[in-house]
Amino acid sequence: MATSTAGTPATATVDEDPQEVTLIEEGDVILILQNGMRVRASSVVLSLASPVFKKMLGPHYLEGQAPRSAEQPKEVQLPDDDPNAMNMLLALVHFQDPDTKKALISPAELANLAVAVDKYDCITALALMTEALFKRCTEPWALPTSQER
């Protein structure tokens, strides 16, 4: 897990509007999820983690043709994906805590995450992190205590 300069675990920053999440300040894309949540992310990180995002944000698709920068991020709609699963996937590929607001992830949430990971072909990039999430779901005794978090 990534840490901030203070040594604490890095987490996604929720902006003033709870429907806006910043995974990286220098993010050059804003992914708009099915529930309207807007997630600022890095096209470079997404492209390295997922061949699907690499193609989508490349020069041969509309999403990749427009110029994008941190000052003028490109908005990309993701209307077909489960918003909770995508929020977790995006946080994980940016080495952020998915901040699920609960200790355990339900089997349905884990299944939805697996579908998103498969769809965006980022199984290799997320193998260790998803294994840890699965372990957290199946072995509650393995959860860190509040002091370890």
pLDDT for res 109: 87
Q: Is 31 exposed, middle or buried (0-12, 13-18, 19+ CB in 10 A)?
A: buried
Q: Which residues have C-beta within 8 Å of that of residue 143, sequence separation ≥ 6?
A: 103, 104, 136
pLDDT, tens only, 101-127: 555 678 888 899 999 999 999 999 998
The rounded Cα 127 to chain-centroid distance in angstroms is 14
d(CA 100, CA 105): 8
* CA nearest neighbour of 27 among 112, 121, 90: 90
pLDDT for res 10: 47
- Contact present, 52 and 119 (Cβ < 8 Å): yes
d(CA 104, CA 82): 18
Using left for φ > 0, alpha for ψ between -120 and 50, and beta otherwise, residue 51 falls in alpha
* CA nearest neighbour of 30 among 79, 99, 77: 77
Its pTM stands at 0.76
Which residues of the chain carry a pLDDT beneath 70? 1-18, 99-104, 137, 139-149
d(CA 63, CA 41): 14
- Contact present, 125 and 48 (Cβ < 8 Å): yes
pLDDT for res 141: 53
Domain boundaries, the chain: 13-142
* CATH superfamily assigned to domain 13-142: Potassium Channel Kv1.1; Chain A (3.30.710.10)
